[in-house]
Structure 1
Amino acid sequence: MRTLGVEEELLVVDPDGVPVPLGPQALAAAARWGEAETVGEHDRAARGQADDDGGGDGDPAGHLVPELKAQQIELGTRVCSDLAGVTEELRHWRGRADAAARAVGARVAALASSPVRVEPVTTPGERYADMTETFGLTALEQLICGCHVHVSVADDEEGVVVLNRIRVWLPVLTALTSNSPFWLGRDSGYASFRSQSWNRWPSSGPTELFADAADYARVVADLVATRTIVDTGMVYFDARLSEQWPTVEVRIADVALHVEDAVTHAGLVRGLVETAAREWRDGIPAPDVRTEVVRASGWRAARWGMSGDLVSPATGRPAPAAEVVAALLDHVRPALADAGDDERVSAGVATILDRGTGADEQRRVHRETGALTGVVRAAIEITTG
């Protein structure tokens, strides 16, 4: 059974629903309870835990840690062997993050972007200062929250063949997890505007097929050698090999409003990883799809989420979103069944199709309340509900 772990980034907001730069203070409170790392981001980088690569599947204790912006907290689960464990861990760490925020007069909200206009504040630390200096407005505006799923692999060779085979399915996960329709005070027109903001980084997005693990390592080394990115922690591929742990890390998703949606996503990711590894062992080649097509598929998924057509990995042509999601479930169903996840993941997908994505829910609350702060307040209750 492949183990898995989940990292989530949460907004820190005041009781009225406005993001506030109290993440570091909240983490200091959690550290007094022994539940958060207190080291600065530069120190984490020096220990090999560079930005967006701490914790996850290889952190047996779970964590609360800082993120790029002071209006954020990142949580990471312990290593889990089943989805019940993922559920318990996410509820625990969301609760602890909220308790830490409450200790400084704030709350947390699982929103992938801020619905209300706010001036993002960079978390203190040498590495984050370097990123802000290097990337300017891209780093200054980067107040977004994602969900990263780590799934164990035998080694980097298996990890690379998995990356080659799951890339065409990742846009479908973007659509299912879309939870960022509003951007700093206005409706973006996208279901996942976080994806658009994220892809401004020079090392983000889908990748070409890799020949093997050595080829992957060369690409990473060549990226760093350009001196365009700060370090290997800024290899922001949609899916990548973890530097710290023997895992594939899928980074395509918005943070989920509902814990159960995050669990559904984690189950689908584990199913994709296991299915890809089986195809490799069975001699089935990776889909030879151009990166330009994968990128366009991701854009379409971010634009309309589940309310429009998605690009079918089977045909490369648009098809109804529900139909493409059904094809994804069929693709991973044997792996889901062997892990005991089929019933739960299928039910979770059905719930999203029936209720709507996080983006759909946010827009529904906005229509009902007429206030973007009302969207945030509703998200606070759902986040830890």
Structure 2
Amino acid sequence: MRTFGVEEEFLIVDPSTGSPLPLAADLLRLHDPGDPAAAGAHSMLAVELHQEQLEVITRPHSSLGELAAEIMAGRAYADSLARKSGARIAALATSPLAVTPHATSNSRYDALLDKFAVTAREQLTCGCHIHVSVGSDEEGVAILDRIRSWLPPLMALSSNSPFWSGADTGYASFRTQAWNRWSSAGPTEVFGSAQAYHQRVADLSATGVVNNPDFAARLSARHPTVEIRVSDVCLDPRDTVLLAALVRGLVETAGREWKAGQEADMVPAVILRQADWLASRWGMEGQLLHPLTHKPDTARNVIAALHAHVRDALDDAGDAAYVEESLHRIFSDGTGARLQRQAYSRHGRLADVVSDAVVLTHQEPDLYQQSVSPSRTQAPLVPAVT
């Protein structure tokens, strides 16, 4: 069983005004492993590029149930620290309200700000990165080559950033648009081997622009994992658990394809950029590029194809029922982008969008039940007949 872990980035917000607050360093100083509130929250806390955000990093797990429990515990503990400073933690991939971020000062971030200027200064975005274990760099690169076309649907499922600088952008994931301003962000061509991957990274480093590229998916520089980086932080913690299950399913499926000698899809990265753009623009509310045909299709058909592609791996991991139930819920209720827009429609104030987001970030649903099974009355997740 492959292990997996999650990195979630959150906004630190004023609960009354909704404005982001530059308190990350203060929250880390408040961290006390002996605090009763930390019981069960074994996640690491880390600063990010700006002081208005805080990262929560889980340990690796083999069980989806254990990962789900730590995701919720990590969110709750981070929020408990924020409360001590009169703030809250919100799972928003961009701030609905206009903000001038305060940079975290250290050698790494100082260099980024100096080199990338306004791209770095404005980069107050919160993502969800998922790590899945691999046996070697060779296997890891083979997996990266075989999951490229399946990443845009994950972006659509996680879309949670419709607002930017006080306005509705029209995008479901505007974080993706902001993130793609980094010079090495986005999809890659097929590498073919670990040697070719490492040579590409070395060549990029030799340009003097980047050291650790911001590929949509990459080998981790610190762990024996592949790291999938396309997702917004999810408003609903159940969506984070769903993404983790789907990503592990993708990685396992790709690993099996490699061992069976199945070649990677050689679709050019420029086509995958169009798939990214559609997922960023519409999320689950419009057409996406189908990962097998690379032609426009409905979101339901695309997600059905993803589900079918990883179904065997989900079954083997015991995650199939949770994933199917969760996908039906998203088709019914929508992603974070829809929920944010609905909150704005109800209240008419972006501050209330943030207030509602705080509640949803820390809701305590039954995140995972091993015995859950989809209702027989639900529509099947199969492509529509055309």
What is the TM-score when the length of structure 2 is the normalising length?
Answer: 0.91
1:75 to 56, 62, 65: 56
Pick from 308, 311, 314 the counterpart of residue 286 of structure 2: 308
Deviation at 1:182, TM superposition (A): 0.2
Which one of 207, 221, 238 corresponds to residue 188 of structure 2? 207
Amino acid at match of 1:374: D
SS of aligned partner of 1:275: helix
Correspondence 1:204-353 to 2 at 5 A: 204-229=185-210, 231-232=211-212, 235-353=213-331
Q: For residue 334 of structure 1, give the secondary structure of its aligned residue in structure 2.
A: helix
Cα distance in 1 for residues equivalent to 2:33 and 2:307: 44
The residue identity in structure 2 corresponding to 1:2 is: R
> How much does 1:31 deviate?
4.7
Quote how far apart the aligned CAs of 1:104 are: 1.2
Q: Which residue of 1 aligns with 2:11?
A: 11
d(CA) in 1 for partners of 2:298, 2:321 = 23
Q: How does 1:162-201 map to 2 (within 5 A)?
A: 162-201=143-182
Shift, 1:304, TM fit: 0.5
Measured in 1, the distance between the counterparts of 2:33 and 2:220 equals: 29
Deviation at 1:126, TM superposition (A): 2.0
> 118-127 or 255-264, which moves further after superposition?
118-127
Distance in 1, matches of 2:262 and 2:321, equals 27
Instruction: Please state how far the C-alpha of 1:32 moved relative to its aligned partner.
Output: 7.0
How far the C-alpha of 1:62 sits from its partner, in A, is 2.8
Equivalent position of 1:103 in the other structure: 84
The code of the aligned residue for 1:83 comes to: L
Distance 1:31 1:123 in 2: 21
Which residue is 2:334 aligned to?
A: 356
User: Which residue of structure 1 lines up, in the alignment, with residue 137 of structure 2?
Assistant: 156
Instruction: Name structure 1 gaps, 5 residues minimum.
Output: 36-59
Partner in structure 2 of residue 22 of structure 1: 23
Does the Cα contact within 8 Å between 2:42 and 2:70 map onto a contact in 1? no
> How many angstroms apart in 1 are the aligned matches of 2:88 and 2:295?
43
Matched, 1:126 2:126: no
SS at match of 1:158: helix
- Deviation sequence 1:115-158 (CA, Å, 0-9, x none): 01111110121221111111000000000000000000101000
The yes-or-no answer on 1:115 pairing with 2:116 is no
Deviations 1:70-90 (A, max 9, x none): 000000011111110111001
CA distance in 1, matches of 2:343, 2:86: 24
Instruction: For structure 2, list consecutive stretches of 5 or more residues without a partner in the other structure.
Output: 364-386
Percent of aligned pairs sharing the same letter = 50
Matched, 1:136 2:117: yes
Aligned pairs for 1:358-373 within 5 A: 358-373=336-351
CA displacement, residues 284-341 of structure 1 (integer Å, 9 cap, x when unaligned): 1111101000011100110001110110011111001011100100000000000000
Deviation at 1:5, TM superposition (A): 0.2
Q: Do structure 1's residue 86 and structure 2's residue 67 form an aligned pair?
A: yes
2:22 maps to a residue whose letter is P
Q: Once superposed, which parts of structure 1, at least 4 consecutive aligned residues long, lie more than 6 Å away?
A: none
The one-letter amino acid of 1:250's match is I
In structure 2, relative to structure 1, the CA distance for the partners of 1:34 and 1:162 (3 Å cut) is: farther
Separation in 2 of the partners of 1:348 and 1:330? 15
Mapped contact 2:42–2:74 kept (Cα < 8 A) = no
Q: Which amino acid is the alignment partner of residue 30 of structure 1? A: H
TM-score (norm 1): 0.91
Question: What RMSD, in angstroms, separates the aligned Cα atoms of the two structures?
Answer: 1.3
Q: Which amino acid aligns with 1:169?
A: W
Work out whether residues 145 and 192 of structure 2, in 8 Å CA contact, stay in contact via their aligned partners in 1: no
Structure 2 counterpart of 1:54 = none
Alpha-carbon distance change, 166 to 12 in structure 1, aligned in 2, over 3 angstroms: same
Aligned with 1:142: secondary structure? coil
Q: What does the per-residue CA deviation read over 1:181-236, in whole Å, with 9 as the maximum and x for residues that have no partner? A: 0002000110000000000000110001012101111111111111112x32xx11
Matches of 2:120 and 2:132, distance apart in 1: 28
Q: CA deviation at 1:33?
A: 4.9
Q: How far is the alpha carbon of 1:349 from its aligned partner?
A: 1.1
